[in-house]
Amino acid sequence: NMLDIGTEGPVAVLRLNRPQVLNAINTAMLGELEDALDRFETDDAVRALVIVGSGRAFCAGSDLKERRTDPEERIARMHRMVLLFSEY
């Protein structure tokens, strides 16, 4: 997994786990983030969300080495994720 998921009481903790690339978000990690956010969105026990990075960086952003993805689809998915983050 590229994302470690845990809870500490009412707090969900998502740890980005690609330290070798400074936790850059690729398509697989984006899917894991979307799944986790969808799960926590319907979990009334989760009241807050904390996102941390493994290694020396939080997140370098989008993985620019991954070129096989449709840029417009990627932007739409990232936008949806940011909107979900804003709900917490």
Answer whether residue 88 shows pLDDT above 70: no
Residues 40, 3: contact at Cβ < 8 Å? no
Comparing CA positions, the residue from 70, 68, 74 lying closest to residue 25 is 74
* Two tokens, residue 9: 């009481």
**Which residue in the block uniquely carries the two structure tokens 């909107």?**
83
Per-residue pLDDT tens over the stretch 6-56: 999 999 999 999 999 999 999 999 999 999 988 988 899 999 989 999 999
CA distance 46 to 14: 12
The pLDDT value recorded for residue 86 is 78
The pLDDT value recorded for residue 82 is 86
